[in-house]
A and B are shown apart, each in its own frame.
Chain A
Amino acid sequence: MGMTMTQKILAAHAGKDSVKAGELIMANLDLVLGNDVTSPVAINEFNKAGCDCVFNREKIALVMDHFTPNKDIKAAEQTKRVRDFASAKGITNYFDVGDMGVEHALLPEKGLVVSGDLVIGADSHTCTYGALGAFSTGVGSTDMAAGMAYGKAWFKVPSAIKFNLTGKPAKWVSGKDVILHIIGKIGVDGALYKSMEFSGDGIKYLSMDDRFAICNMAIEAGAKNGIFPVDEVTLDYVRGHSSRQPVVYEADPDAEYDEVYDIDMSALTPTVAFPHLPSNTRVFGEFGDVKIDQVVIGSCTNGRYSDFVEAAKVLKGHKIHKDVRMLIIPATQKIFLQMIESGLTKLFIEAGAAVSTPTCGPCLGGHMGILASGERCVATTNRNFVGRMGHPNSEVYLASPAVAAASAVTGKISHPDEVYKEEN
């Protein structure tokens, strides 16, 4: 029986010719990731177990992104612990304020992940790197500690669901809309323990940023990982960001899938996930006026440069609604600089938005844009659980950067066409 793309990567890293769904394996890791929230717990476990050296100083990435720049004394103590650990162990890929970014935007940009890699991260959105044709998955801090010490992790080999993406995405339809549509269709546990393998002749229309957004939210369907085949778009990106050689794996033609879904991207429309689950999706026409108080564009899902270009396209020539606070959070320093150089930052500020240094901040209700009771936010982030961005009685609506920008102008959840002015 053939293997899926994910199974092939796992087999290669476990030193096996083949693996089967359900099999438990121990695999070698190419990269172990942690952030300022999960790493302190991992360091505790690492020390408690009497570990001394890390398995490879260059294959660990520690990114201080969740509560940074440090939001309070406790957060400052946490980053200090990680900083001291990185220094003591000689970890080369430690990223702090000034050169950090939101981890899942930063690592591909720094060339730390390439096609064919096996990556674990103590952050659930580690699944993002599947966009590069890598196997990557979120784990907890103890797994991270074991990964740092031994360069290994255990996995139950997943079965897969195949998503055959066809057609060119319709106007205003981004990677975010594609993944929200899919989660709305299969539910928040629709891919529990499984791989989501994307394929089809439509993927050539998806940019790397679209693919990052799609794989990023695989976890919101409960998946172990999301993964795209490697094509020229992937290889161009990898070559442009890393000196490491990508390894290309392909699913066998006779690989078995638990289910196959055909998604015609030309038939999709902008999609919004209403509170309090990412699967609670609606399209325009299915809801009335939803007044909002805040808009956030940023995060590991949609804080990349093309996301801000899309938002700016909608926002151009408009002012943000007087009752709306709009937060623009570029995911990395490089993206921030690009936005300054291209004039996007000026456009956002002149429209009335606040532009912030990179941080996960409001996405997880950490800092930099917490909601009060009863307030509503349209966010390009990835979760809208109860209390996710602040008070348990606040609400988060997940959408694309274009929808978020349009909503910032009107003060209610809006289709980009309501706002966009065609340039002559």
Chain B
Amino acid sequence: MKYTGKVIKYGDNVDTDVIIPARYLNTSDPRELAAHCMEDLDKTFVGRVQQGDIMVAGYNFGCGSSREHAPIAIKASGIACVVAKSFARIFYRNAINTGLPIVEYSGDIDEGDIIEVDFSAGEIINKTKNTKGTFPPFPPFLQNIISKGGLLNSLKEN
């Protein structure tokens, strides 16, 4: 798995209420959710996000509610993967379970940079800044869930 894209960057403690406000949780349709993604934090997001862009954030990304609508909305908006200094634990699970690639990484990345995230090599290359950093791979247990195409499929095989 390798993703190259332009960075859209946010700060610390991006909560699920701003990723997808609860007032839109009367649907679980990915396209409808994507139309309101990040709305309360960044009204420009929906208009400017391009397929394949990479979301970068600070600590505790996805804190708050357990709504799986959050990773669903981010994925459906076109974001290829999320890079954050740390993730809130329910969001972390939900991202793995729903197939939104995520990585914990603290390297220097700015808004608009072009970065390459290589999950096989455990490497992030910042093409704009010409810098490179590494991140640890998922433990085999989680890699198995991802490679089987999600939690339910992996349990089914057992």
Chain A contacts to B: CB under 8 angstroms: 24, 37-38, 40-41, 44-46, 48-51, 66-67, 71-72, 74-75, 78, 121-124, 126, 138-143, 145-146, 149-150, 152, 154, 188-189, 192-193, 219, 222, 224, 277, 364-366, 370, 383, 385-388, 392
B41: chain A residues at CB < 8 Å are 386
Q: Are A146 and B151 in contact (CB under 8 A)?
A: yes
Considering only CB atoms, which chain B residue lies closest to A73 in the complex? B26
Are A78 and B26 within 8 A (Cβ)? yes
What's the nearest-Cβ distance from chain A to residue B98, in Å? Answer: 6
Residues in B with CB closer than 8 Å to A121 are: 66
**Distance between Cα atoms of A67 and B27 in the complex (Å):** 12
| Chain A residue, CB-CB nearest to B87 | A192
Binary interface encoding of chain B residues 14-28 relative to chain A, with 1 for a CB under 8 A from any of its CBs, else 0: 010110011101111
Interface centre among B64, B141, B150, B153 (most CB of A within 10 A): B64
B50 within 8 A of A: no
Q: In the complex the two chains form, what is the Cα distance from A41 to B41 in whole Å?
A: 24
Q: Does A71 lie within 8 Å of B26, measured CB to CB?
A: yes
6 of the cross-chain contacts (CB-CB < 8 Å) are A46-B152, A121-B66, A139-B94, A141-B68, A222-B63, A386-B17
Contact B141 A24 (CB under 8 A): yes
A50 to B15, CA, bound (A): 32
Q: Is the Cβ of B152 less than 8 Å from the Cβ of A146? A: yes
Which chain B residues in 55-97 approach chain A with CB under 8 Å? 59-60, 63-69, 71-72, 86, 88-90, 93-94, 97
Complex CA gap A41/B22 in Å reads: 14
Q: Once the chains bind, are B97 and A143 in contact (CB under 8 Å)?
A: yes
A49 touches B156 (CB 8 A): yes
Report Cα–Cα, A150/B154, bound state, in Å: 11
Interface size of B as a range:
35 or more
Residues of B within 8 A of A364 (CB): 17, 22, 65
> Which residues in B have some Cβ–Cβ distance to A below 8 Å?
13, 15, 17-18, 21-23, 25-28, 40-41, 59-60, 63-69, 71-72, 86, 88-90, 93-94, 97-98, 139, 141-142, 145, 150-153, 155-156
Task: List B contacts of A37 (CB < 8 A).
Answer: 22, 25-26, 67, 69
Among B22, B72, B88, contact of A222 (Cβ-Cβ < 8 Å): B88
A78-B28, A123-B66 known, 19 other contacts, Cβ within 8 Å: A37-B69, A38-B66, A41-B28, A67-B25, A121-B66, A139-B66, A139-B93, A139-B94, A142-B68, A149-B152, A150-B155, A189-B13, A189-B63, A365-B21, A383-B17, A385-B18, A385-B64, A388-B22, A392-B40
Complex: how many Å from CA A232 to CA B86? 39
Distance, CA A141 to CA B28, complexed state (A): 11
Interface core residue of A48, A75, A277, A364 (most chain B CB under 10 Å): A364
CB nearest to A393 among chain B residues: B40
B residues in contact with A146, CB < 8 Å: 151-152, 155
Q: A140-B93, A146-B151, A385-B15 are in contact. Are A40 and B28 (CB under 8 A)?
A: yes
Instruction: Say how far A173's CB is from chain B's closest CB, in angstroms.
Output: 26
Query: Once bound together, how far apart are the Cα atoms of A139 and B142, in whole Å?
Result: 16
**Closest beta carbon of chain B to A138's beta carbon, Å:** 4
Check if A145 sits within 8 Å of B18, measured CB to CB. no
Residue of A nearest to B43 (CB): A392
Contact A140 B97 (CB under 8 A): yes
Select B68's contact among A38, A150, A193, beta carbons within 8 Å.
A38
Contact of B139 with A24 in the complex, beta carbons under 8 Å: yes
Residue of B nearest to A383 (CB): B64
On whether the beta carbons of A192 and B60 are closer than 8 Å, the reply is yes
Measured between beta carbons, the chain B residues less than 8 angstroms from A366 are 22-23, 25
- Is A192 a contact partner of B89 (Cβ separation < 8 A)? yes
B2 to nearest A CB, angstroms? Answer: 25
Expressed in whole angstroms, the Cα–Cα distance for A252 and B93 within the complex equals 29
Separation in Å of the A118 CB from the closest CB of chain B?
16
- CB neighbours (8 Å) of A44 from chain B are 28
